[in-house]
Amino acid sequence: MSKKILVVNTGGTIAMSVDDSEGVKPLDDQAVNKILPFLEKHADVTMKNLLNLPSPHMTPAIMNQLRLDIEEAFQHDHYDGIVITHGTDTLEETAYFLDLTLSVNVPIVVTGAMRSSNELGADGPVNLISSVRVAADSDSLNKGVIVVFNDEIHAARHVTKTHTSNVATFQSPQYGPIGTIAKKSVQYHHAPLDREHYAITHADANVPLIKAVAGMDPAWLQFLLEQKIDGLVVEAFGLGNLPPAIIPTLQQLLDKGVPIVLVSRCYNGQVQDIYDYEGGGRKLKEMGIIFSNGLNGQKARLKLIVTLQKTRTFKELQQLFDH
């Protein structure tokens, strides 16, 4: 019997078209629906056009509404899997947010396209067909949210957009894809060990992300002292070290009760408390800065937005970021 798959469209290039002036924008609100006949060979597909957003317009609040809409759809109907189409710019963020928060126990796939629907070599149709095949495959169960793109399957936690235009943009540095899509089969070669789940109600914490650069001006951080922020993520150098000039301001933010999560600008490895000079990781850890576990900055920010609903104590947040 054919599997029942829900496809939820949220927008992005997969739903856009190129016009005569070579501008790409949402011109045809049925662009993704036109792929439907090609999906029906693989599953019994229900398609819902929920949003038509370029993904730079996405926010954590909209991601949370998407989560609620999906959970509600599952209360009314049974589906064996779900596919979400999304713009690629923030796709990894929505995928990871849903990985942390969505309570639906079926394969959940996020996909999109690098080339718009009427461009030569458009990758949207094949990505969507592959995604429906993956969502309908029982081996896709219990893998957390997965991203299907260019014949590869990636874990939401590790995947990131690595190229501005290439169709092979989605990669999982250090880990690689967890599976591949062949002409006739879906093959997994490894799987995430476990999945974190947080029951949340909202996603409106204000958590900026700051990147460390050589000789950075502390004024940018001092500005944050005047703002109402719930937390801060700092992308540090290498193993987790920062310019000494910004340390006093970080200390002031900590003293105000603002949790600070440290990630690395490097896209492989994780921050560690090793260097013991001024601004070095060991000193940052002693100050109470929370060390993340290999997440990139944009995902650590979402994890902080989500976990702040569970606790605001630095120690407990550190335990959650150790996971």
Could you list the residues that contact ligand ASP (CB under 6 A)? 12-13, 54-56, 87-89, 112, 114
55 annotated as belonging to a binding site for a ligand: yes
CB of 46 to ligand ASP, least distance (A): 23
The yes-or-no answer on residue 88 being catalytic is yes
CB of 53 to ligand ASP, least distance (A): 7
Question: Of 13 and 264, which has the nearer Cβ to ligand ASP?
Answer: 13
Tokens of 82: 């779900």
CB of 115 to ligand ASP, least distance (A): 9
Ranges of H-type helices in 195-280: 219-225, 247-255
Question: Of 12 and 240, which has the nearer Cβ to ligand ASP?
Answer: 12
59 annotated as belonging to a binding site for a ligand: no
How far apart are the C-alpha atoms of 228 and 226, rounded to whole Å?
7
Q: CB pairs under 8 A, 24+ apart, for 64-70?
A: 64/97, 64/101, 64/200, 64/202, 64/203, 66/8, 66/10, 66/94, 66/98, 67/97, 67/98, 67/101, 67/102, 69/8, 70/6, 70/8, 70/98, 70/102, 70/104
88 annotated as belonging to a binding site for a ligand: yes
Q: Which of 88, 90, 111, 307 is catalytic?
A: 88
Q: Which of 10, 13, 94, 111 is catalytic?
A: 13
Question: Of 88 and 172, which has the nearer Cβ to ligand ASP?
Answer: 88
Question: Of 28 and 89, which has the nearer Cβ to ligand ASP?
Answer: 89
CB of 195 to ligand ASP, least distance (A): 25
Q: Which helix (H) or strand (E) holds 69?
A: helix 60-76
Measured CA angle at 100 (ends 98, 105), to 5 deg: 70
First to last CA, the chain: 39
Binding residue ranges for substrate: 55, 88-89
Catalytic residues: 13, 88
Binding residue ranges: 55, 88-89
